Amino acid sequence: MKRKLISGILVGAMTLSLFAATAMADENEVYMFINQPEYADAITELIDAYAEVAPDVTINYETTQNDYPTLLKAKLNSGEVPDIFASTSGKEIDVYREYSLDLSDQPLAETILPSVASAMASTEEGGGLYGIAIKGNYFGLVYNKGIFDELGLEVPQTVDELTAACEAISEAGYKPFTTGYAEWWVFKHIFQHYLAAAADGAGTTVAELVQQFEKGEARIADLPEIYNNFFDLIDLSLQYGDDKPLETDLSGELAAYGGGTAAMVLGQGAWIEADSLAIDPELQVGFSGYPVTDDPAQCQIISGSDQALHIAKDSEAQQAALDFVNWWYTSDYGMAWFTDVAGVVPPVASDAESEFEVIKQGSALEEEKGSAPLGVCYSTDSWWQKFGELMQDYIAGTADKDATCAAIEENWAAIDGAK
């Protein structure tokens, strides 16, 4: 596996261009504008490898994170549609369907896993495959196994066990949590675990519960898994976490976790392992579900493909873009790239075994305890970004829990509800 740590990655909005910063209207010049800069090195290697296959094609790659939904919509509204662009899978497939090419008849449709393809498919009349997955993923609680072993602690499975673990870790001189609360997307990764538990507690599904929120029919106060347990976790992380949580981004989390000062990382997943090991190659990476209730069975990881790439349906470089993604999904190099370079769960049928602990442990946990639904895909990133901002207000102390819950309910219905 070959990967470099980018020192400035994920500090605010980072932009990377492999060639020219401005895309030209050229059928052999592809402008790819996506989020997930944590995969910048891996995608750079992918594009470099493709340059050997198609030297006459230029791929201008730009990536950012914090303001991606806003920036993408600005580009679309101005008519400057990127040839390749990203969105969350699930609900956002239909949000961007009018700009996207149906990929159902492409060679990549033969290699994409059916479980992944379902998250990339339109639910509107006629269906169709309007996205491809940059990765499969596991979401959960990343922890320092060395610290837990040193202190003789079991990985917490319940809310009470998590509190007790924090107390023991703190007494031993370690920081129990590093949080990354400067990033809005961290909150959606955490919240989806509690949303799944809340749906179970209410005797419904995550999809149905989200629809109730969109219609203004659900109340957080009626869902103790969220009103109590989720907010208790946030409060616990403030008590036992970063000194300046709203100034700590992913790079800060990596420094604390990879540097051996923090025992648990919130809001992250498999994508932080390589950069953490670049800081400390001897780091013992552990992975578990979130202790969302007092039932250990609900301490589950989440698996699925949460990000989609779209090909612009009116792109002048459409054929070049299609050739690139089809090569990515069908060539020996492209199919091996997911495990060997990016270190992610392959979204394609593959016999390759990952060297990453999060993926190996996540796979074992999924087989043992099952996995919770991928809740991030039932809502748009426009809503999730607002949710993250509301939680940042709560952390800053400018809104109490009840005011935050009311704002969450109001904005969920206003942003993702029927217009």
Contact 373, 196 (CB under 8 A): yes
List of E strands, 241-325: 262-265, 285-288, 302-304, 307-311
Q: Specify the pLDDT at position 349.
A: 82
Q: Which has the closest alpha carbon to 57: 322, 333, 337?
A: 322
Q: Is the dihedral of CA 13, 18, 22, 23 positive or negative?
A: negative
DSSP code per residue over 229-242:
IIHHHHHHHHHSS-
Q: Specify the pLDDT at position 36.
A: 83
Cβ burial of 7 (10 Å; 0-12, 13-18, 19+) is exposed
In CATH, what is the architecture of 29-136+305-353? 3-Layer(aba) Sandwich (3.40)
As a whole-number percent, the residues of the chain with pLDDT over 90 amount to 79
Question: Is CATH 3.30.565.10 correct for 141-300+380-416?
Answer: no
Q: Specify the pLDDT at position 1.
A: 37
Tokens representing residue 67 in the block: 């303001």
Contacts of 357 (CB under 8 A, 6+ apart): 273, 285, 286, 287
Confidence (pTM): 0.85
Cα separation, 191 vs 266, whole angstroms:
11
- Total residue count of the chain as it appears in this document: 419
269: left (phi over 0), alpha (psi -120 to 50) or beta: beta
DSSP code per residue over 7-62:
TTTTSSS----SS-SS--SBTTEEEEEES-GGGHHHHHHHHHHHHHH-TT-EEEEE
Cα separation, 342 vs 127, whole angstroms:
30
Q: Specify the pLDDT at position 374.
A: 93
Q: Tell me which residues of the chain have a pLDDT lower than 50.
A: 1-25
pLDDT by residue (tens digit) across 346-396? 899 877 777 889 989 999 999 999 999 999 999 998 999 999 999 999 999
Residue type, 43: I
Q: Where in the chain is the domain with CATH 3.40.190.10?
A: 29-136+305-353, 141-300+380-416
From first CA to last CA, the distance across the chain in angstroms is 47
SS3 at position 196? helix
Contact 6, 39 (CB under 8 A): no
Q: Specify the pLDDT at position 419.
A: 55
Helices 184-201 and 206-214: crossing angle in degrees, nearest 10, is 110
